[in-house]
Amino acid sequence: MPRGDQLTRQWMLLQLIDRASGVTVAGAAETLGCAVRTIWRDLRVLQEAGFPIYDQKDGDGRRGLWKVTERFRTSLPVKLTLAELAALLMSRDLLAPLGASALGAPIDSAFDRLTRVLSRDALALIDRMRDVVGARALGAKLQAPAAEHMPRIHRALAERRTLWVRYYSFHRDEVTEREIDPYHLAWVDGGLYLVAWCHVRRAVRIFAVERIRDSAVRSRGFTAPRDFDARKYLDEGWGILRGELVTVKVRFARAVARYIRERLWHPSQRFRDLPDGRLEMTIQVGDTVEVRRWLLGHGVQAEIVEPRSLREALWREAAAMADALRPDRRPLASSGRRSATSASRTVAHSP
């Protein structure tokens, strides 16, 4: 049996045992669709790893229900079930990007307290389960030296104070000094971004934290506009980039229609089923390189209907890609042309 199937089954068995009513060996075998001897083998693995489980014998001394020990339930620093604790530990990587922020130390402290109630072997088994059934975040922690700016950023946010920064502009390839009033800190696709009023540009801009070269909190305070909604501001983009707000209508082939429908891609999305099994999706979003890459990623399964400008831009990009991938073309050869997506990129990152 593949190792992944075994770990998945043990995780499901742990959840059955964690129920208030417990579970019998026969009941677990029936629920998980395996032999009784397989359940016994999994129970030995869990017990030997140190999980706080036991078999509650019935009146005639025979083995009965498997449950979580009451001592374990009362020892937790917060009221959690064993399955909830294991799931929380398996999801720890989702909070990894916050390690560089002011939240990093308290989060680490909380997890350290939670791990103390389980044995080392039990934690090791949870790690192996996480590799199969757990969740991992895309991207990585913010690295030094950018991480050193987080305490000052959080102070400026909390105290509503202007922040001085030396900021590297990716597009201009230069470092400039400016003062900004930070409104909101957001984590998007593994990166930390600061939404702030830029005193140089006299407008709201988005600053990538990893491009801040130096920072200092000014004594001068500021008041954020009452009508500014950071969530609404960010929702106008596909990811973190911003561009001209347009209504995009795209039709997806029947082969991917179910996959597209089952997810929330953007807050503004609306779906319409077509008679031939295709799915029409309408969104109102900034026309940026991010949404274009997402559309191109579906290849011929996605047909752009509106706006015409976006349809033509993606046609040029697809034509350039086809030319670059010609069988008679040497790999890495210079094409001497600029991609349509790069040429039309419009963002709200501060230049």
List of domains in the chain: 3-133 (1.10.10), 146-234 (2.30.30), 245-343 (no CATH)
Residue 146 has pLDDT above 90, yes or no: no
pLDDT at position 319 over 60? yes
**What confidence category does residue 302 fall into, taking pLDDT thresholds of 50, 70 and 90?**
very high
Give the lowest-confidence range in 84-98, 104-118, 207-221, 332-346: 332-346
Residue 141 above 80 pLDDT?
no
Tokens at 218, concatenated: 């000014």
The per-residue pLDDT for 189 is: 67
Which alpha helices (DSSP H) does 95-219 contain, by range? 104-115, 120-133, 150-159
What's the mean pLDDT in 265-270? 87
* pLDDT above 70: percentage of residues in the chain: 79
- The mean-pLDDT minimum among 82-91, 208-217, 277-286 falls in 82-91
What is the average per-residue pLDDT within 31-55?
93
Amino acid at site 179: E
- List the beta strands (DSSP E) in the chain: 53-56, 65-68, 161-169, 174-188, 191-198, 203-208, 212-221, 245-252, 270-273, 279-286, 302-306
Question: 315 versus 287: which is more confidently predicted?
Answer: 315
Query: Worst-scoring range by mean pLDDT, 15-29, 262-276, 287-301?
Result: 287-301
pLDDT the model gives residue 145: 57
Binned at pLDDT 50, 70 and 90, residue 134 comes out as low
pLDDT of residue 105: 67
pLDDT of residue 220: 93
- pLDDT at residue 62, rounded to an integer: 57
What the block records as the tokens of 209 is 């934290």
- State yes or no: pLDDT of 335 exceeds 50: no
CA neighbours closer than 13 Å in the CB half-sphere of residue 213:
10
CB 278 within 8 A of CB 254: yes
Distance, CA of 187 to CA of 140 (rounded, Å)? 11
Evaluate if pTM is beyond 0.75: no
Q: What is the pLDDT of residue 217?
A: 94
- Asked whether residue 343 carries a pLDDT value surpassing 50, the answer given is no
Mean pLDDT of the chain: 81
At 334 the pLDDT is: 53
Residues found in the chain: 351
CA–CA gap between residue 308 and residue 306 (Å, rounded): 5
Whole-number percent of the chain with pLDDT over 90? 30
List Cβ neighbours of 270 (8 Å cut-off, separation of 6 or more).
281, 282, 283
The phi and psi torsions of 310 (rounded to 5 degrees) equal -70, -40
